[in-house]
Amino acid sequence: MAQQTSTGISSEMQQCIDECTRCHNLCLALVRHCLERGGEYADPSHIALLLDCADICQTSANFMLRGSERHHLTCGVCTDICRACAEDCERMGQDDEMMQQCAEQCRRCQQSCERMAA
Domains of the chain are: 11-117 (1.20.1270.360)
Q: What is the chain's alpha carbon radius of gyration, rounded to the nearest angstrom? A: 14
Cα 26 to chain center, whole Å? 8
All residues at 6 or more sequence positions from 114 whose CB lies less than 8 Å from its CB, including other chains: 75, 79
Instruction: Determine the pLDDT at residue 1.
Output: 43
Cα 34 to chain center, whole Å? 17
Instruction: Determine the pLDDT at residue 3.
Output: 53
pLDDT tens digits, the chain, 118 residues: what are they?
445 545 578 999 999 999 999 999 999 999 999 999 999 999 999 999 999 999 999 999 999 999 999 999 999 999 999 999 999 999 987 889 999 999 999 999 999 999 999 9
